[in-house]
Amino acid sequence: MPEPRTVATHCPYCALQCGTRLTCERAGVTVVPTDFPVNRGGLCQKGWTATSLLDVPDRLVHPMVRRGGELVAADWDTALGTVADRLRGLRAEHGPDAVAVFGGGGLTNEKAYLLGKFARLALGTSRIDYNGRFCMSSAAAAGNAAFGLDRGLPFPVTDLGAADVVLLAGANPAETMPPLMQHLARPDLVVIDPRRTATAERAALHLQPAPGTDLALALGLLHVAVVDGWYDDGYVRERTSGFDAARQRAMTWWPERVERVTGVPVGAQRAAVRMLAQAERAYVLTGRGAEQHSKGTDTVAAFINLSLALGLPGREGSGYGCLTGQGNGQGGREHGQKADQLPGYRMITDEAAREHVSRVWGVPPETLPGPGSSAYELLSGLGTPHGPRAMLVFGSNPAVSAPHAAHITARLSSLDFLVVADFVPSETARMADVVLPVTQWAEEDGTMTNLEGRVLRRRRLQNPPGHVRSDLEVLHGLARRLGEPAQRYPTAPREVFEELRRASAGGKADYSGIDYERLDTEALYWPCPAEGPDGTAHPGTPRLFLHGFAHPDGRARFAAVEHRAAAESVRAEFPLLATTGRELAQYQSGAQTRRVAELDAAAPEAFVEVHPDTAERAGLRAGALAVVTSARGEVVARVRLVASMRTDTVFLPFHFPGDGRANLLTNPALDPRSRMPEFKVAAVRIGPHPPGTTAAEEVPA
Ligand code: SF4
């Protein structure tokens, strides 16, 4: 009997990237957690059940091409030939920007890199972006401006365990990444969240601002830090610039004014600052709650201001960080699938960056297109007179995950040609003209970069079923059919990574000193140049900014930000605010986790959390269906009465399809810098679901 095969790898889902060991036995694949630093033997329910993904009943196992309105099985030659023919025709008729590419924050570094290269060279399109735009873009913009570098956590997760106090602004790790909570067991937690989440339940102090007011709260906390004398004058003078302008803005945010705007009592504001300032080791962490606003960049910047005033970033045992969401949310934004970036976190408008990357790719720099439009703008323009006529989607499900989902679904429907590469028939895949079945996590090698900026090996355990190919093989096959040299698109992940190393060399996210062999034995965090200062192998950079920030003068920048209202306010027609987020048993659009029986049983359908008083006024009963309506659409969801909810707020998770899609409600108002949509604030009304009516536009089956 053959020996069971075993590999050390990581969970397929979130950015914590918990370490696991997979074993393939006769009875199937089993998973156990490893003593990896981020999870130390822990997993959440999603991680424990992840092997179910390997044999979901509706796994895509052969290419499908739409004929006579139906998706029917086809061979690879037919499918790839169809795609290449249609793309070639549309490009010839409408130009290269007629074809768009939409990637995902779950793709390995190798896939993200090759997808960006494929878009720029094989298609020649500027129109590429990815769903990470909806996740981390505000923190990325604020982090780059403040520190000169964007790495979610500039320190290992394990550092948090020695902290005295951690402030979490708009993050709910107790539900989104439970194993992280073991690192937050010792510190006192200050949680800022409109909901009393599972994380807030464990907090020493919970500040519960109205949705969309956390920027005012952050300004008020800076005000308290300055006026009550808690700020670190020496640190501010020696390590930062721009304090005076930021302080002036904060000076108008008296605690009483902040209480009026946010609902957070003055005493709680003062207590939060006092806790942070008196702690020897303290951290400020932000998450999607701070980011997913039309002012998300300024909101994150305001929390960074607070952390700078208290002297935390770049200090041993203290700091500021952002909790990344998607599995490769960090690496996915470093290697070229973002509209304005080239590999190594280089800007596509930077002449030196274009020169470097084009040399690695063996093309003249002028071959590379310029920056494209951001995710929502790209999706919203599909099928419009000057917008893309075709789109290729890799590892994303925008029909469920994009804001203003009915509009985006209509735009997807209006395309001349839609291609989706996925391993399950997601809601977006079911709309496609061609569906390309690709490998998933345990069937492929590659690298992921977790929320700490640590690069990890994903290892293949078993072969994929049926006629499934890897995303790299798909890109290779398409590029070849589009007339590109075959060797320009390697299919072996290791070979792609070797090229990525060269392309990233000298960039902000420098991976040139990392290789698969080193990753087998070392913990490597970027930047990791090819050589260390003494000519030996660079050890990587677990902790950033200890000796200076990444701006040329080594100083961090305060941002002079000002509060502004959410893009949409309550009014007579829509008297409540809806906020959206995640729930423990589901992940992102749910395309994967809704197919796992245990997770489906734990969280089977859309729900809406409502305060009992709000529910009574609206005529709602616990467990009954409600219809939630915004200016953009309606959602049908089951009522959960939650006494800790604000009476002016309802909450919906965004994992569910059909008429339970929370994103039918969400507002696509964009942050001016990060282009992040306002997922967290929509004006709504709520009432009983009228029997016999259909509440929302259906996604075609
Ligand atoms: Fe997977 Fe994230 Fe859960 Fe860890 S916390 S098991 S990485 S989903």
Query: DSSP letter string over 479-505?
Result: HHHTT--GGGS--SHHHHHHHHHHHHT
Q: Given this model, what pLDDT does residue 136 score?
A: 86
Residue nearest to atom 6 of ligand 1 (CA): 47
- For ligand 1, is residue 43 a contact (CB within 6 Å)? yes
CA of 127 to the centre of ligand 1 (A): 32
Say if ligand 1 is within 6 A of residue 13 CB.
yes
Ligand 1 centroid–CA 204 distance in Å is 25
Query: Of 606, 636, 618, which Cα lies nearest the Cα of 685?
Result: 618
Q: Is residue 599 in contact with ligand 1, taking CB distance under 6 Å?
A: no
Please tell me the predicted confidence (pLDDT) of residue 700: 39
Q: What pLDDT score does 690 carry?
A: 79
Separation of alpha carbons 147 and 513, rounded Å: 23
Q: Which residue has the higher pLDDT, 446 or 326?
A: 446
For atom 3 of ligand 1, the residue with the nearest CA is 44
Number of the ligand 1 atom closest to the C-alpha atom of 43? 6
Q: Does the pLDDT value for residue 698 go beyond 50?
A: no
- Is the confidence at residue 148, as pLDDT, over 80? yes
Percent of the chain with pLDDT over 90: 93
Q: Is the pLDDT of residue 263 over 50?
A: yes
- Give the mean model confidence (pLDDT) for residues 622-644: 97
- Nearest C-alpha to atom 2 of ligand 1 is from which residue? 14
How many angstroms does the Cα of residue 226 sit away from the middle of ligand 1?
39
The predicted pLDDT at position 391 comes to 98
- Residue partners of 690: CB distance under 8 A and separation at least 6: 627
342 C-alpha to center of ligand 1: Å? 29
pLDDT in tens, 44-83: 999 999 999 999 999 999 999 999 999 999 999 999 999 9
Mean pLDDT of 393-414: 96
pTM of the predicted model as reported, rounded to 2 decimal places: 0.95
Cβ–ligand 1 contact at 177 (below 6 Å): yes
* Whether residue 157 has its Cβ less than 6 Å from ligand 1: no
Provide the pLDDT for residue 534. 84
DSSP per residue, 616-651: HHHT--TTSEEEEEETTEEEEEEEEE-TTS-TTEEE
Question: 290 CB under 6 A from ligand 1?
Answer: no
CB atoms within 10 A of CB 377: 18
Q: Using CA atoms, how far apart are residues 217 and 219, in angstroms rounded to an integer?
A: 5
Stronger pLDDT, 537 or 27, i.e. the higher one: 537
Categorize the per-residue pLDDT at 4 as very low, low, confident or very high, splitting at 50, 70 and 90: low
| Selection from 262, 266, 259, 233 nearest residue 247 by Cα | 233
Q: Which residue from 329, 368, 389, 377 is spatially nearest to 153, judged by alpha carbons? A: 329
Ligand 1 contact, 36 CB (< 6 A): no
pLDDT at 324 exceeding the cut of 90: no
183 CA to centre of ligand 1 in angstroms: 14
**Tell me, what's the pLDDT at 237?**
98
- What is the arithmetic mean of pLDDT over 430-453? 97
Per-residue model confidence (pLDDT) at position 298:
98
Atom of ligand 1 nearest to the CA of 180: 5
From the CB of 342, is ligand 1 less than 6 Å away?
Answer: no
Q: What is the mean pLDDT of residues 117-121?
A: 98
What value does the mean pLDDT take over residues 321-339? 91
pLDDT at 3: 59
Pocket test for ligand 1, best of 43, 48, 326, 328 (most atoms within 8 A of CB): 43
Q: Is the CB of 329 under 6 A from ligand 1?
A: no
Atom of ligand 1 nearest to the CA of 17: 7
The SS3 call for residue 688 is strand
Q: Tell me what the mean pLDDT of segment 98-112 comes to.
A: 97
Average pLDDT over all residues of the chain? 95
Average pLDDT over residues 687-692: 76
- Is residue 692 over pLDDT 60? no
| 158-187 per-position pLDDT tens digit | 999 999 999 999 999 999 999 999 999 999
pLDDT band per the 50, 70, 90 thresholds, residue 2: low
Task: Please choose from 11, 180, 587, 655 the residue to mutate so as to test ligand 1's pocket, defined by most ligand atoms within 8 A of CB.
Answer: 11
**Cis upstream peptide for 612 (omega within 30°):** no
Mean per-residue pLDDT for 570-574? 97
Q: Which residue has the tokens 């709602």?
A: 620
The pLDDT value given to residue 693? 42
User: Does pLDDT of 695 surpass 50?
Assistant: no
Rounded to the nearest whole angstrom, what is the distance from the C-alpha of residue 16 to the centroid of ligand 1?
6
Q: Are 76 and 477 in contact (CB under 8 A)?
A: yes
